[in-house]
C-alpha cells in the first residue's frame, strides 16, 4: 500500500487561521528563548495563596528556575475567562533573549469557569526546582505542593 506524500504548514496558535492564542487558555504564552544560562524566578504578588508557607516576599528570587524558553503575559492577546478574583500573575523574571532584547517571564494562576485550576510556571525549568541537583529549592517544592493541594481539594501540607 502506498501513501500519498503530503506537505503541511506549521502555524502558531495565535495566527489568523486558528486565532486561538495560548494565553487565552493558560494565561501566558511563549515570549522567547534565553540567550545565556538560567536566571532567577522573581516573585510578585507574594500574598497569593500559592506562596503560603514559603516565606517569599515581592522581589525575592529563586536562582536557576527560569531557563531555556520562557512564557509571559502579553497585552496584545486576550486573557483567559476565569472565576472572578482568581487570576493572578505570580512572577516577573527578567532575562535577555536570543535577539539580545530585554525580556521577562511570568508565572500565573487562575480558576477556569469549569472549576479547573490552571497554573503556568512561565519556564521549562520549573521541574528543576523540584529535584535537580544544585537547583532544587524547598520554596519551589512548597509552591508545587500548595498548587497540587488546591487542585485536589485537600488542605495544603
Q: What is the enclosing helix (H) or strand (E) of 125?
A: none
pTM for the model: 0.88
Look-up: residue for cell 497585552? 75
What's the CA dihedral at 75, 12, 68, 23 to 10 degrees?
Answer: 30
pLDDT for the residue numbered 14: 72
Please work out, in degrees rounded to the nearest 5, the angle formed at the alpha carbon of residue 42 by the alpha carbons of 40 and 46. Answer: 145
pLDDT confidence band for 123 (50 / 70 / 90):
very high
Please give the DSSP secondary-structure letter assigned to residue 79: P
- Determine contact, residues 73/25, Cβ cutoff 8 Å: no
What does the alpha-carbon distance between residue 28 and residue 42 come to, in Å, rounded to a whole number? 16
In this prediction, residues 27-34 reach a mean pLDDT of: 93
Beta strands (DSSP E) in 34-97 are 39-42, 61-66, 69-72, 88-89, 93-96
Structurally, the chain folds into a number of domains equal to 1
- Determine contact, residues 75/40, Cβ cutoff 8 Å: no
For residue 135, the enclosing domain spans 23-152
Distance (Å) of CA 109 to CA 3, 47, 93: 45, 13, 16
> What percent of the chain stands above pLDDT 90?
78
Chain mean pLDDT for the chain? 91
* pLDDT tens column, 81-117: 999 999 999 999 999 999 999 999 999 999 999 999 9
C-alpha cell at 82: 476565569
What does the alpha-carbon distance between residue 64 and residue 129 come to, in Å, rounded to a whole number? 8
Residue 124 in domain: yes
- Determine contact, residues 112/80, Cβ cutoff 8 Å: yes
pLDDT confidence band for 16 (50 / 70 / 90):
confident
Amino acid at each position: 500500500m502506498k501513501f500519498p506524500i503530503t506537505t503541511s504548514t506549521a502555524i502558531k496558535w495565535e495566527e489568523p487561521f486558528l486565532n486561538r492564542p495560548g494565553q487565552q487558555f493558560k494565561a501566558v504564552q511563549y515570549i522567547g528563548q534565553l540567550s545565556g544560562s538560567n536566571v532567577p524566578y522573581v516573585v510578585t504578588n507574594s500574598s497569593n495563596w500559592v506562596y503560603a508557607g514559603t516565606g517569599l516576599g515581592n522581589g525575592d528570587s529563586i536562582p536557576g528556575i527560569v531557563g531555556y524558553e520562557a512564557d509571559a503575559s502579553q497585552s496584545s492577546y486576550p486573557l483567559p475567562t476565569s472565576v472572578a478574583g482568581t487570576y493572578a500573575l505570580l512572577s516577573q523574571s527578567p532575562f535577555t533573549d536570543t535577539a539580545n532584547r530585554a525580556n521577562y517571564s511570568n508565572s500565573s494562576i487562575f480558576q477556569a469557569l469549569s472549576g479547573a485550576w490552571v497554573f503556568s510556571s512561565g519556564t521549562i525549568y520549573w521541574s528543576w526546582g523540584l529535584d535537580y541537583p544544585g537547583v532544587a529549592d524547598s520554596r519551589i517544592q512548597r509552591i508545587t505542593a500548595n498548587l497540587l493541594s488546591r487542585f485536589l481539594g485537600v488542605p495544603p501540607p
